[in-house]
Amino acid sequence: MAESTVSLNLFTDTQGKRVLYAEAGKDFIDFLVNILSQSDTVLKPAVHRSGFDVALLALYYTPTAKTFYMCSNSPYCARLHVSEYSGAVCPKCKYGTMTVAVTTVSSSTRSSDGFVKGAVTYMVMDDLSVMPLSTKSSISLLKKYNVDVSDVEEKVVSVGKDEAVKVLSAALQSKSVLTDVFLNGVD
């Protein structure tokens, strides 16, 4: 049986030698979310060692509905941390308490068709953040990084099991995941 793969269009900055973003369909986004959600027991220890907030990861990738708490000091706290315990002191601002409830959506309530809508094309940033693709967001990104349109090159890659493992590994160590895996060949 052939290995299943998904296709990804990378838009690279040839001068800066980095991935600006990837244009992806529903199949890649579902693939990405599935990798992260299925590897909870593998991810938590590694993520904890990296200094990332484990509860924050769990907030996005919990297979069952669960309530987490964010800082009540909303205008001043970046809300980068969540806690499973209401009333805990915020580790970010050290002033607010974790009392703002946030409930995850369990995977059983998600559509059986996957995690995202199929008619939308998505923009996956180098750090794996995802947003719907639009001309405006593409142009804004070029301006943000001061990249001339003539320096942008499209590269189509296939993502299979080997690449998925590399993406998962790079996501725990870097904020330039797509560049590291697809341009720099990091294992």
For residue 119, being part of any structural domain is answered with yes
Q: Is residue 170 part of a domain?
A: yes
- In tens, the pLDDT along 29-72 reads 877 776 665 544 444 444 444 444 444 444 444 455 567 777 77
Q: How far is CA 51 from CA 46, 55, 152, in A?
A: 9, 12, 34
d(CA 182, CA 179): 6
Exposure string over 125-150, b if 16+ CB within 10 A, otherwise e:
bbebebeebeeeebeebbeeeebeee
Q: Over range 93-106, report the average pLDDT.
A: 70
Q: How confident is residue 149, by pLDDT bands cut at 50, 70 and 90?
A: very high
Residues 22/176, Cβ–Cβ less than 8 Å: no
What is the average pLDDT score of the chain?
73
Residue 154 has pLDDT above 60, yes or no: yes
Q: What is the pLDDT of residues 2-33, one digit of tens each?
A: 567 888 999 999 998 999 999 988 888 877 77
pLDDT band at 119 (very low <50, low <70, confident <90, very high): low
What pTM does this model have?
Answer: 0.60
pLDDT tens digits along 72-85: 776 556 555 667 77
Whether 22 is in a domain gets the answer yes
Of 66, 9, 62, 65, nearest to 36 by C-alpha is 62
Number of domains in the chain: 1
Residue 108 has pLDDT above 60, yes or no: no
- What percentage of residues in the chain have a pLDDT greater than 70? 65
Q: Which two tokens stand for residue 64?
A: 């069952």
Token pair 């990738």: residue: 61
Stronger pLDDT, 100 or 23, i.e. the higher one: 23
**135 assigned to some structural domain:** yes
In a domain, 21, yes or no: yes
**Containing structural domain, residue 38:** 7-49+115-183
Task: Output the pLDDT for position 51.
Answer: 42
pLDDT value for 54: 43
